[in-house]
Structure 1
Amino acid sequence: MSTSTPPTAVVIDGYSAGNFYPAAFAATGTRVIHVQSTPELIPTMVAPNLAEYAENLVITDEAELIERLRGYDLVAVVPGQESAVRQADRVSEALGVKSNGTALSPARRDKYQMIEALRRAGVRCADQTKSSDAAELVKWAEDRGVWPVVVKPLSSAASDGVFICANAEEVRAAAERVLGGRDIFGFDNAEALIQSYSRGTEYVVDTVSSDGHRYAAGVWQYDKILLPSGQNIYNRDILLPADAEPVPALIAYVNEVLTALDVRWGPSHAEVIVTDEGPVLVEIATRFNGQLNPAFQRLCLGHDQSGLSALAYTDPERFAREYGGRVYRKAQSGYSYNPPTELDGTVAAVDQDVVARINELPSVLLTSVKYAPGDRIRPTTDLLSAAMRIYLTAPDDEQLVADYEKARVLKDAVYRVG
């Protein structure tokens, strides 16, 4: 490997939360380049800020990409978003840099293979099957005879196309909708997945790994809203203290999941439901929490997942010494709030006075408005179609709750639809 270039990290498709990689790696003195795996940027995702990278390589042929990257002194090849996970695994393995490898890469992306890998490892998991035929999915549910069930795509994200179905008719409708559509990354859904429904409270467990040394970076409780369509949309992520129940059990369970999937490097974002039998995985992704905001996480936790991940790759010895086998400490309370909307039409205006009033609330760190005048806005059905994102944090829980309630009222006046 050439030593004529500085240590370099490669981010493949650095969309959405992947936008936080350049600053994180730069803080370690690492040069960062971007790989765009498609001729055009993916329109459904928040685009990478290419100005933050030393280079942007638009290379769609993987063999060509691998040869091009051999000239760099590489410390990491990481996925900037979920659809790049398998490519990052292949490229990092081929180049001999820190890698989770390809042996279990499909199970870290395909939700059916993910659960089957847990089953083989003896880790508690859902019942499931998959098919390209809606009738087969209906038959599986009817033969099983336990309702509700969950229907979703095999490889999407952000609660895209996830339906909770109470009967055979709802299964058929959900399966046909999934099979007739594309995931949020633009790929056709050739098959749909059906799973047993895990009844209980859902949580997020974020981790960072460095050569198998793991740090539990945060546990958040989901506050969700079930729509009449059967879609369960995000409302709030609520940070929990590390010693609160059931946080220790969640962390122990996710460690089993990471071992079963052979995750040794980088960030992971797990969604887990605590049932009467114990924790059960919804899904896990080897990328950042999609609601990552470094400034927000540093206030709540004293660290952020992007900075920890850059450290994990660039200085494994320090990471193992300072974070390996340890658990986060909650510094102050925090919510990541994703206000839903029932608006349907074209945005005529964004009322900046209302946005300012939200931002003036003592607990509000940032309000991220998603739509601009001229954009099409639709009723919320998943995380991507939430109206905005509001980060709230405060040492005083009463203040936090009060400001959240005020933001819930104000959010409906942000957009005017023509």
Structure 2
Amino acid sequence: MTVNRPWGVVVDGYSTGNYLPPAFDALGFDLVHLQSTPEPMLTMLQPAAASYREFLVMDEAVTPGLLAERKPAFVLAGQEPGVPLADRLAEELGLRGNGSALSTERRDKARMIDAVAAAGLRTASQLCTDDAREAVAWADSGGHWPCVAKPLSSASTDGVRVCRTEQELRDAVTGVLGTHDIFGSVNDRALIQSYLTGTEYIVDTVSCDGRRRVCGVWRYEKRLSAHGRPLYNRDILVDPADPVCGQLLPYVEKVLDALGIANGPAHAEIIVGADGPALVEVGARLNGNMHPAMHQTCLGLDQAQLTALAYADPERFLSDFADTPYSIRQPAVVYNTPTSLSGRVVGIDDEVVSRMRALPGVVDLTVKKKPGDRISPTEDLLTSPLRVFLTSQDAEQLERDYLVVEELREDVYTVEA
């Protein structure tokens, strides 16, 4: 990094926000990291300090004035908790952004769905409450069985539960209330929604001045646990010529407009059923399953690259990438492995990990646990112990590699009860 290079600010660059610094660096920009909270959010992969020119912690009395004096080129969020602060700072500094008027709708899932429904788009019915009895009465009176209970502003299927009985719903609501979400906020209310039947998809985008590039569409392969929790198995890349994209993409365009996401990345989850698409939720941030090496191989571009381009060279983004569809170079899959193991991890079998890494279609494999960590049967994305990124020109090879990983996955960890 050199002090005379242009620079921008990333607020809360956790998790896949770590892919933003190298993407901006390739375009000649440095980044300053701004932490929105007094202490780091330790539930997520931490930002790599060496990737940033400077690390700042938000101080309302100092930081806005400091940034105004230094004149950054842009401010954007690296992870969902940073969205409101990034929105506000960009607005105050007169920089490209999404404004602060709808910041809450981009974070609070109840207000998000209300805004999308107000735009005339199909959504689930919902109730926001701090009372399990009210939740049961709503489900009974509206015929909303089964229904889904979840926190208002979390991610990674944290606290999400599909409920089919009154007792399950009571347990789900009380299980949310008073707990902390993965971003450290207290859940003082629970969101209850009607259950949407159909197939769930990811649609990833990058916007610049209201014009967009769809980075990719992925189909979720999932099932429900015995406790009603959604277990995500594979994310499978969808061909843009698939007829489902003809329904998804116009719907997502209207969702982003309804939520005021005119600039930066977005990660939308949508269920397509007999009545068409309906939003599950959308985050104004990079996809959590993004992996630049894999995405560049299977798609030619990745969402971090396009985000950097939208802020560092918007004219090029608009002329070369906006309003054009993605194309697939080869099939791809992201596999979040489940486990039935329970106890303390006492060892990792490096030979098994090496065998999986050596498979022709495996681009990368993330071993999430280390010796001393606790491991428990998978109930959500947070408790999946391995993430495997696969792509191959040969779809049959991709399936064979997936099946090998499926066979070996429980041999990675040695666990002591």
Question: When the two structures are superposed, what TM-score results if normalisation uses the length of structure 2?
Answer: 0.97
Q: Separation in 2 of the partners of 1:339 and 1:142?
A: 36
User: Corresponding residue for 1:406?
Assistant: 404
Say if 1:363 and 1:400, in contact at 8 Å, map to a contact too: yes
- Aligned partners of 2:395, 2:143: CA distance in 1, in Å? 43
Query: Is 1:32 matched up with 2:31?
Result: yes
How far has the Cα of 1:20 moved from its partner? 0.6
Q: 1:57 and 2:43 equivalent?
A: no
CA distance in 2, matches of 1:105, 1:112: 13
Query: In the TM superposition, what is the alpha-carbon distance from 1:321 to its structure 2 partner?
Result: 0.6
Structure 2 gap segments, 5+ residues each: none
Q: CA deviation at 1:67?
A: 1.1
From 178, 187, 190, the counterpart of 2:188: 190
* C-alpha contact (below 8 Å) 1:344/1:377 kept by paired residues: yes
The one-character-per-residue Cα deviations of 1:159-197 (angstroms, maximum 9, x if unpaired) are 101110112111111000011311111111011000111
Match of 1:222, SS state, is strand
Question: Match for residue 367 of structure 2?
Answer: 369
Q: Any conservation in 2 of the 1:7–1:72 contact (CA below 8 Å)?
A: no
Q: Which one of the candidate residues 170, 173, 178 is aligned to 1:172?
A: 170
Deviation >2 Å, runs of 4+: 37-40, 61-64
The 8 Å contact of residues 9 and 25 in structure 1, kept in 2 or not, is answered as no
Select the residue among 258, 270, 273 that pairs with 2:271: 273
Matches within 5 A, 1:104-183: 104-183=102-181
Count of residues in correspondence between the two structures = 414
* Cα contact 2:15–2:47 (8 A) shared by 1: yes
Q: CA deviation at 1:62?
A: 3.0
Q: Which residue of 2 aligns with 1:239?
A: 237
8 A Cα contact 1:86 1:106, kept in partner: yes
Structure 2 vs 1, CA of residues 369 and 93 (structure 1 numbering), >3 Å: closer, same or farther?
A: same
For the residues of structure 1 that align with 2:66 and 2:317, how far apart are their CA atoms? 30
Please state if 1:72 is matched with 2:92.
Answer: no
CA contact (8 A) 2:138 2:144 kept: no
Distance in 1 (CA, whole Å) between partners of 2:134 and 2:251 is: 32
User: Is the counterpart of residue 44 in structure 1 residue 69 in structure 2?
Assistant: no
Identity rate of aligned residues, in percent? Answer: 49
| Residue range with higher mean Cα deviation, 187-196 or 68-77 | 68-77
Q: Distance in 2 between matches of 1:392 and 1:5?
A: 39
1:37 CA displacement: 2.3
Contact (CA 8 Å) 2:36, 2:85: kept in 1 or not? no
Q: How does 1:285-324 map to 2 (within 5 A)?
A: 285-324=283-322
Q: Secondary structure at the match of 1:332?
A: coil
The answer to whether the aligner puts 1:392 opposite 2:393 as a matched pair is: no
CA shift at 1:289, angstroms? 0.2
Q: Counterpart of 1:13?
A: 12
Deviations 1:366-390 (A, max 9, x none): 1110111111112211112111110
SS of residue matched to 1:241:
coil
Matched residue of 2:139: which SS?
helix
Q: CA deviation at 1:120?
A: 1.2
Aligned match for 1:336, one of 334, 337, 348 = 334
TM-superposed deviation, 1:5: 5.4
Q: CA deviation at 1:73?
A: 3.2
Deviation string 1:334-362 (CA, Å, 9 cap, x unpaired) is: 00111011111111001010000001111
Letter in structure 2 aligned against 1:409:
E
Displacement of 1:63 after TM fit? 4.3
Whether the 8 Å CA contact 1:158–1:384 is kept in 2: the answer is: yes
Q: Give the whole-Å Cα distance in 1 for the aligned partners of 2:70 and 2:340.
A: 49
8 Å CA contact 1:149, 1:195 repeated in 2: yes
Partner secondary structure for residue 156 of structure 2: coil
Deviation sequence 1:14-69 (CA, Å, 0-9, x none) = 1101111110111111111111223332111111111111101123x234221121
Contact 1:5-1:72 within 8 A present in 2 as well: no
Checking the alignment, whether the CA contact within 8 Å between 2:6 and 2:72 is kept in structure 1 is yes
Partner residue of 1:220? 218
- In the alignment, is the contact (CA less than 8 A) between 1:5 and 1:73 conserved in 2? no
Instruction: Give the AA of the match of 2:362.
Output: V
Structure 1 unaligned segments of length 5 or more: list them.
none
Taking the aligned partners of 2:155 and 2:276, their CA distance within structure 1 comes to: 24
